[in-house]
Chains A and B, each alone.
Chain A
Amino acid sequence: MIDPFLLEGLIKILFVFVLISAALIISTRNLSSVLTTYTIQSFLLALVSFLLYLMDEKGQLLLLAGLTLASKVILIPYFISRIEEKIKIGRDLHFTYLEPTTSLLLSIGLILLSYVFLSRIFEDLSLSKLFFFGAVIGVSLTLMGMLVVFSRRKVITKVLGYLSMENGVLMFGLFVTEIPFIIEVLIIIDLVILVMLTTILAVGMDSSIEEYRQKFRKLQIWTGGRYL
């Protein structure tokens, strides 16, 4: 009913914005911005799922869109914003191993890498160019999420990076395979549990794993300066 060209065009635009959101998660310094970006990324994914439903008319996609909306756009960000209110750190300033500029340039390399990798693997599969690019973006998103996990210091950002990785897997699944619906539900339950645990621990735990260790160290300083 709706012009497929228009749908394809809209999906292409959404692809670029998803990648931009991933790049922003890598480079933003403001913690609440990282959360907002993650929320927007999940919303865009729900939108992509909805557009795919309009294209293919599979009921599962509509359900998936709704589930993503409910869990990743509403539930998880609510929990994380509770954590952020509690621990009151505003910024995540330090980057380990990679400055934001370098990581942006590296991300372009990752996208190219996933393209080459997937084109080798999927040689026999007949996918339309758009769907293939969707798969490429899925893998790139996962890799970029992993980048976030190792290059940022605060745990919240690491958790959001991990969640971003899961978004990448979801994207990959949307375009390449027919991931059985039950697996998607299980993944989402996994994530919700993870975030709930983090919330609980956040009451007693400080902002980053490093500072947690520092606290232990400080207790031993009277033993003459021997560091652990």
Chain B
Amino acid sequence: MNTSFLLFALLNPIFALLAAPLYMALIRKVKAYAQGRKGPRLFQVYYDLRKLLHKEVVYSSTSSWIMRFTPYLNLSALLIASLFVPLLFVPEPVGGFGHIIVFLYLLALERFFTALGGLDAGSAFGGMGSSRSMSLAAVIEPSMVVAFAALAFVLKSLNMHEMFALTASEVLPLSPTLVLVSISLFIILIVETGRLPVDNPATHLELTMINEAMILEQAGKNLALLELAHALKQLLLMGVLINTIFPIGLSTELDSGKIAVSAVLFLLKAGLLAVVIGLFESSLAKMRLFRLPAFYVMAFFFSALTILIEVFA
């Protein structure tokens, strides 16, 4: 355990937690502008979270300890996952923090318990959300693993810290495969955070609900924790994408000046990515539920092609 990692363990999660809600609101604002509206304030999600923290928690009489523990579990899992993605600087990797498979399975842990929470209250909405979410997550899993495997092949390491230390000083991606992997990562980002065309995060209608249905029964501070966890997941996946395609500015040393520059650059890059996501969402309609596997297989085709190119050419 060295000081670099300890500092990282302190700074990175806090930075991620603080920055995450900003980008949720930014994407909403971009979508609103695309629709001709003004949209919410940039800090709206922070105010929403504060409001939720003060509200009363209501539990259903049919729910069990799962509903009570899931929000804390999810946020803990994602806080640990935030130790895997370097946002401010790249530390010396310690004890497996940064391993891509552990990262993916921490996200899977969060999904598992959210799905159980959806079934807990015994409502039809919750069951539907859980069922759809777990089914679709299963179909996207091969693409995710193959995309991360392509990253591992190109950057020759299984640890994200080592990978991004390699690319940290480049302006453009190291190899064309990384450009293709970035496209896969973008699709995975859209899928994992439940954005159009996979799911509409703005509505609570049965037709467009996958993610929202599972947390329908949560209230008060539990809901705040779950929303924060969701925003954190989005930020971490955005972080992986940014580090792959546009890594300039990520500092590899413990210099405070460089870290500050890194932070500002990351905020700007994430903002740009958020605008791109917002525009992408605004240009598409939600796909029919059973057309989604075809879309996911296309994503898998893309990831597989990326690896094939890497192996063959």
Contact = CB atoms under 8 A, between A and B. Distances in A.
A20 B298 CA distance: 8
B11 interface: no
B294 A27 contact: yes
Nearest to A23: B301
Contact of A108 (B179, B304, B306, B309): B304
B298 A111 contact: no
Given A16-B305, A129-B312, A136-B312, A27 B298 contact: yes
B143 to A, nearest CB: 12
Contacts of B312: 115, 129, 132-133, 136
B301 A107 contact: yes
A101 B313 contact: no
Interface in A117-143: 129-130, 132-133, 136
Contacts of B272: none
Given A9-B175, A108-B304, A16 B298 contact: no
A33 B41 CA distance: 38
Contacts of B179: 13
A16 B313 contact: no
A111 B293 contact: no
A2 interface: no
Interface residues of A, number: 24
Interface string B172-188: 00011101100000000
A173 interface: no
Interface residues of B, number: 18
B313 A133 contact: yes
Given A108-B304, A133-B312, A12 B297 contact: no
Nearest to B304: A108
A130 B293 CA distance: 32
B223 to A, nearest CB: 36
A23 B298 contact: yes
A188 to B, nearest CB: 28
A12 B176 contact: yes
Interface string B156-193: 00000000000000000001110110000000000000
A12 B177 contact: yes
Given A20-B305, A101-B293, A108-B304, A12 B298 contact: no
A129 B177 CA distance: 15
Nearest to A24: B298
A77 interface: no
A27 B180 CA distance: 21
A208 B217 CA distance: 52
Listed residue (B179, B293, B305, B313) with the most chain A CB atoms within 10 angstroms of its CB: B313
Contact of B180 (A8, A13, A136): A13
A19 interface: yes
A133 B177 CA distance: 15
A193 B312 CA distance: 38
A10 interface: yes
A107 B294 CA distance: 14
Nearest to A128: B313
Contacts of A20: 301-302, 305
Interface string A1-38: 00000001110110110011001000100000000000
A190 B224 CA distance: 65
Interface of B: 175-177, 179-180, 293-294, 297-298, 301-302, 304-306, 308-309, 312-313
The 5 closest A-B pairs by CB, nearest first: A9-B176, A133-B313, A12-B176, A13-B176, A101-B297
